[in-house]
Amino acid sequence: MKKSVISLPLLLILLITIGCSKKSESQLYIGATEVDSTTLITGLDTPWEILWGPDNHLWFTERNGTVSRLDPANGQRSIILTIPDVFEYGEGGLLGMALHPDFQNDPTVYLVYNYTSGPLIKERLVKYNWNGSELTNAETLIENISANSYHNGSRLVFGPDGKLYMSTGDAGTTSNSQNMNSLSGKVLRINQDGSIPADNPFPDSYIWALGLRNTQGLVFSPDGILYGSEHGPDTDDEVNILEPGRNYGWPSVAGFCNLPSETTFCNENNVREPIAAWTPTLAVAGLDYYNHTDIPEWQHSILVTSLKAGKLVSLKLSPDGLSVIAQEEWFTNHYGRLRDVCISPSGSLYIAVSNRDGRGTPRPGDDRIVEIKAVNSTGIADQPTKKQYLRIIPNPMEQEALVDINEQFKASGYSIYNMMGKLVQEGMIKTSTFNIRADFLDAGSYILQVTGSSGIATAPFIVR
């Protein structure tokens, strides 16, 4: 993996009391972008999910069964639910959470957690109503999903289709992942009332995708692509594009289809290979999609947290979002184990530190939630991406690339910026296609910005 060449300053870890006031701790750099890091809250018990709510608060779960809201402006926390029958053991407990996509009109919160049924560990999906101060009126949607003290998944995310997507682990039984009679080792697609969508890929089944080991991160890009992070065994952590009806190979395939037995299985079972894989494993966990102008180095990237490796990984995506064109590592061992990440509309980043999960070494104040924010942040919410108007072929490029622009965009001019934000090339556009040449561009990453009557479209590209 390509490592960042930026030397990061040493961090002083401060603020070791619960609910202490917000205070900037240190300045870091993401490429050429200076950012502040601030601990918002400390003394948590394995924070598992962090979401940015429409009320401009962070909503988060802890594995012991509590759900809280946190005001990032002052670090004030309110516990809004404690679930009494959560079974916290090993990797199990209260896990994923999702807010209804039209939360102002339908203030419903969805949660997934582990519980016991006799001697067995199970998993349950429940929805609650938010009354402005607490979560009430629990309604179980799905239960009796096989679980264990490890390999339980489980993230929740709403898609642009209004359906709820849920990841499950194989519950330590590898055969579950290929068993269509088991909901374990899958990604599930669910109606908001808990019923099975009629257009799911498999009749009368919640199953959307199968052959997964332990997916602990889910996120949709603005273009509707569903990405998931997957724990490998002792090799091949993965980031996948999760598509309907596709098989992701486990336990017959780990990582890419690059062994004879794997190739045979992949060809026979509609397997989709990952867009990124790591050996040694990082223990990848939560992920999110970043496309804000505050940190241009991360535009159109998937940000992936890791537990064992204690770092954040940025995966720069191709313009169509279907492949990774560059990856970098950030904050290695600064905070320890990183469980989840979320991004606010204004471009701030929030990371859940998870050193009290039984596998880390707690530091003073752990566990915590850290805010990372560009020093020169505009504070303006990111605009919907227009990258669908723009394609660069090939990308990465060596000598020359074709820029193809949707004619409806009515492009008039272009600018090329390096990753330090410096303008390195510009020109007028008279047709829907034109060429850019690398004659005066050094090897590296750039942003193409095209101006048209519909606004501004941007796309990253690489010169080799």
Which CATH number does the domain housing residue 293 bear? 2.120.10.30
Task: List the beta bridge partners of residue 34.
Answer: 29
Whether the per-residue pLDDT at 132 is higher than 80: the answer is yes
Same domain, 216 and 126: yes
Decide if 113 contacts 79 (C-beta within 8 A): no
Same domain, 190 and 322: yes
Pick the residue with more confidence: 77 or 397? 77
Q: Which domain holds residue 418?
A: 387-463
Instruction: Read off the pLDDT of residues 185-218 as tens digits, 9 standing for 90 and up.
Output: 999 999 999 999 999 999 999 999 999 999 999 9
pLDDT given for residue 20 in this prediction = 39
Residues 6+ apart with CB under 8 A from 268: none
pLDDT given for residue 243 in this prediction = 96
Instruction: Read off the pLDDT of residues 30-65 as tens digits, 9 standing for 90 and up.
Output: 888 889 999 999 999 999 999 999 999 999 999 999
Same domain, 317 and 444: no
Same domain, 421 and 328: no
Same domain, 256 and 393: no
What is the mean pLDDT of the segment spanning 407-417?
Answer: 82
CB atoms within 10 A of CB 361: 9
Pick the residue with more confidence: 21 or 249? 249
Please name which of 148, 146, 96, 121 lies closest in space to residue 339, comparing C-alpha atoms. Answer: 96
What is the CATH number for 403?
2.60.40.3080
Q: N- to C-terminal Cα distance for the chain?
A: 17
**Max CA distance (Å), the chain:** 71
Decide if 264 contacts 273 (C-beta within 8 A): no
> What's the total number of domains in the chain?
2
Q: Which of 24-38, 66-80, 265-279, 284-298 has the lowest mean pLDDT?
A: 24-38
Q: Looking at the domain assignment, is residue 17 inside a domain? A: no
Same domain, 329 and 426: no
Q: At which of 341, 374, 407 does a domain end? A: 374
Q: At which of 320, 342, 374 does a domain end? A: 374
**Contacts made by residues 329-333, CB under 8 angstroms, sequence distance 24+:** 329/1, 329/3, 329/4, 330/4, 330/8, 330/30, 331/8, 331/28
**Over pLDDT 70: what percentage of the chain?**
90
Mean per-residue pLDDT over the chain, rounded: 89
List the structure tokens of 161: 């289709």
Q: What type of residue sits at position 109?
A: V
Confidence of residue 7 (pLDDT cuts 50, 70, 90): very low
